[in-house]
């Protein structure tokens, strides 16, 4: 999925006090570069006291196209005792990836397992592929493996196909101590990762995060920092997704102990702490509206933040890549809460991995770096937590300047280099 694009890789820094000030003046030019890819190789961008040399991408890769749909619970039809099947959904183009979430609050002792099935142009269908569970279900012996078939697999919460499908549908199977009485709604995003001109003819506008015109107004949400700790201060390793969700809910005025979040987000069968649909429905269980989305451009990000919504970003940062000024050397699967994006090209996040050294609140990235670790490496997957009715927008009054020299080599390695994003627990 990753676009084969070179990042800014050559930097010339000037010494002295003026050069330090000039480093911060570089940021608007970097933003322009991020928003307008494909500049000529070797173009010098003037920044006042220093220049940045940029390289054009080797190939102009087409941006993936996403299509969104929510299947309401009322659309599910009975297919036998304790089983319901959704209508087949047909996106306006063939798709080779699918992510999904569910929204439901179940009565006590009820539970279900979810399955998905895809249809192909040949008329063939995939087998029913396991897609997750919620509530009380019959225990499974051993650790669950990703369901696979000859055209792909479900990587815990992410369908990845080797042949494009035309349709998909879902099946809900009651498996609680009591019969299921409440069905979930199911949100899905179908994606064609390498679209052609024909695919683009069927593009559907975004519905969950509309574009907004560029604005000089800075919207930086004042999201509190929550540690990966329980109420007794005990460190809970690799629970960054739960900590990010805790930060989002606390921003909206509801402080929830981390152990009351982890009991929902953890998947005991996959032994995984960060499955996307479970995080979405954990927010639902605590009284919030939430949905899964993909963000491919910064206008959509800004528009979502402007609606007072908190985006939990799924990121990964391999060490062997080029970066401008990242806050750490590398990071495996990780989740951070996004505060906002500044007009001068900084991305501000709340990062529970940096609680100990005091840098986790209002942590700053440059747009090209964060775009690489989020939009490129993870397809812009974001878990969006919506404000409850009447929630006020709380903004940061004074954002500090960018704290790191542009182009400085980062040498720090964190104790926690693996986060919640499908982190697997030790056996």
pLDDT in tens, 337-385: 999 999 999 999 999 999 988 899 999 999 999 999 999 999 999 999 9
pLDDT at site 84:
98
Judged against a pLDDT cut of 70, whether residue 215 lies above it is answered with no
pLDDT at site 43:
26
- Average of per-residue pLDDT across 42-70: 51
Q: Is 283 helix (H, G, I), strand (E, B) or coil?
A: helix
Rounded CA Rg of the chain = 22
Burial of 222 (0-12, 13-18, 19+ CB in 10 A): middle
Among the residue ranges 3-12, 38-47, 71-80, 272-281, the one predicted with the least confidence is: 38-47
pLDDT band with cut points at 50, 70 and 90 for residue 200: low
Question: At 257, phi and psi to the nearest 5?
Answer: -55, 145
pLDDT band with cut points at 50, 70 and 90 for residue 196: confident
The CA distance from 89 to 42, in Å, is 47
Concatenate the DSSP letters of all residues of 336-401 into one string: EEEEEE-TTSEEEEE-GGGTTTT--TTEEEEHHHHIIIIIITSTTEEEEEPPPTTPPP-B-S-PPP
Question: At 105, phi and psi to the nearest 5?
Answer: -120, 115
* Average model confidence (pLDDT) across the chain: 82
The CA distance from 354 to 411, in Å, is 15
Judged against a pLDDT cut of 60, whether residue 395 lies above it is answered with yes
Q: Name the pairing type of β-strands 51-53 and 10-11.
A: antiparallel
Looking up tokens 């990042």 gives: 7
pLDDT at site 62:
82
- Average of per-residue pLDDT across 202-231: 70
Tokens of 176: 């609680």
Strands (E), 193-296: 290-294
The CA distance from 225 to 259, in Å, is 16
Question: At 321, phi and psi to the nearest 5?
Answer: -155, 170
Tokens of 366: 């440059």
- Average of per-residue pLDDT across 385-409: 90
- Note the pLDDT tens digit of each residue in 246-262: 999 999 999 999 999 99
pLDDT band with cut points at 50, 70 and 90 for residue 158: very high
Judged against a pLDDT cut of 90, whether residue 226 lies above it is answered with yes
Among the residue ranges 38-52, 96-110, 124-138, the one predicted with the least confidence is: 38-52
pLDDT at site 302:
97
- Note the pLDDT tens digit of each residue in 71-128: 999 999 999 999 999 999 999 999 999 999 999 999 999 999 999 999 999 899 999 9
Architecture of domain 65-193: Sandwich (2.60)
pTM recorded for the entire structure: 0.82
Highest mean pLDDT among 11-15, 231-235, 392-396: 392-396
pLDDT at site 47:
25
pLDDT at site 348:
98
Q: Is 63 helix (H, G, I), strand (E, B) or coil?
A: coil
Where are the domains positioned within the chain?
10-53, 65-193, 211-427
| Correct CATH for 211-427 of 1.10.3480.10, 3.90.70.10, 3.40.190.10, 3.40.50.150 | 3.90.70.10
Judged against a pLDDT cut of 60, whether residue 60 lies above it is answered with no
Report in angstroms the alpha-carbon separations of 346 from 64, 134, 256, 327, 369: 24, 38, 29, 13, 10
Judged against a pLDDT cut of 70, whether residue 201 lies above it is answered with no
Judged against a pLDDT cut of 50, whether residue 162 lies above it is answered with yes
pLDDT band with cut points at 50, 70 and 90 for residue 405: confident
């Amino acid at each position: 999925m990753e676009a084969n694009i070179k990042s800014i890789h050559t930097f010339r820094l000037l010494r002295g006090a003026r050069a330090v000030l000039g480093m911060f003046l570089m940021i608007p030019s970097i933003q322009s570069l991020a928003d307008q890819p494909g500049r000529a190789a070797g173009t010098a961008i003037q920044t006042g006291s220093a220049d940045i040399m940029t390289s054009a991408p080797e190939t102009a890769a087409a941006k993936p196209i996403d299509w969104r749909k929510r299947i309401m619970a009322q659309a599910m039809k009975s297919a036998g005792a304790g089983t319901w099947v959704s209508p087949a959904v047909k996106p306006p183009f063939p798709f080779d990836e699918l992510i999904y979430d569910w929204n439901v609050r179940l009565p006590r002792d009820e539970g279900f397992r979810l399955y998905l099935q895809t249809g192909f142009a040949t008329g063939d269908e995939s087998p029913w592929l396991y897609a997750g569970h919620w509530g009380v279900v019959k225990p499974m012996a051993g650790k669950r493996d990703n369901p696979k078939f000859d055209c792909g697999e479900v990587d815990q919460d992410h369908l990845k196909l080797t042949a494009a499908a035309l349709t998909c549908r879902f099946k809900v199977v009651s498996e609680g101590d009591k019969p299921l009485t409440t069905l979930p709604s199911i949100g899905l995003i179908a994606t064609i990762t390498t679209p052609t001109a024909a695919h683009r003819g069927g593009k559907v506008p975004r519905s969950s995060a509309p574009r907004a015109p560029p604005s000089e107004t800075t919207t930086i949400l004042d999201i509190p920092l929550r540690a990966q700790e329980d109420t007794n201060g005990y460190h809970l390793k690799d629970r960054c997704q739960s900590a990010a969700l805790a930060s989002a809910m606390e921003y909206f005025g509801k402080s929830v102990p981390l152990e009351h979040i982890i009991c929902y987000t953890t998947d005991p069968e996959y032994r995984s702490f960060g499955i996307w649909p479970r995080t979405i429905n954990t927010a639902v269980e605590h009284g919030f509206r939430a949905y899964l989305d993909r963000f491919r451009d910064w206008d959509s990000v800004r528009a979502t933040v402007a609606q007072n919504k908190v985006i939990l970003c799924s990121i990964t940062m391999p060490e062997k890549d080029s970066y401008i000024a990242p806050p750490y050397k590398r990071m495996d699967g990780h989740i951070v809460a996004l505060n906002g994006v500044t007009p001068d090209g900084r991305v501000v996040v709340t990062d529970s991995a940096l609680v100990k050294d005091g840098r986790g609140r209002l942590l700053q990235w440059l747009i090209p770096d964060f775009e690489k670790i989020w939009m490129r490496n993870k397809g812009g997957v974001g878990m969006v937590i919506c404000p409850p009715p009447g929630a006020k927008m709380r903004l940061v009054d004074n954002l500090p300047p960018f704290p790191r020299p542009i182009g400085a080599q980062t040498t720090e390695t964190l104790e926690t280099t693996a986060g919640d994003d499908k982190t697997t627990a030790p056996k």
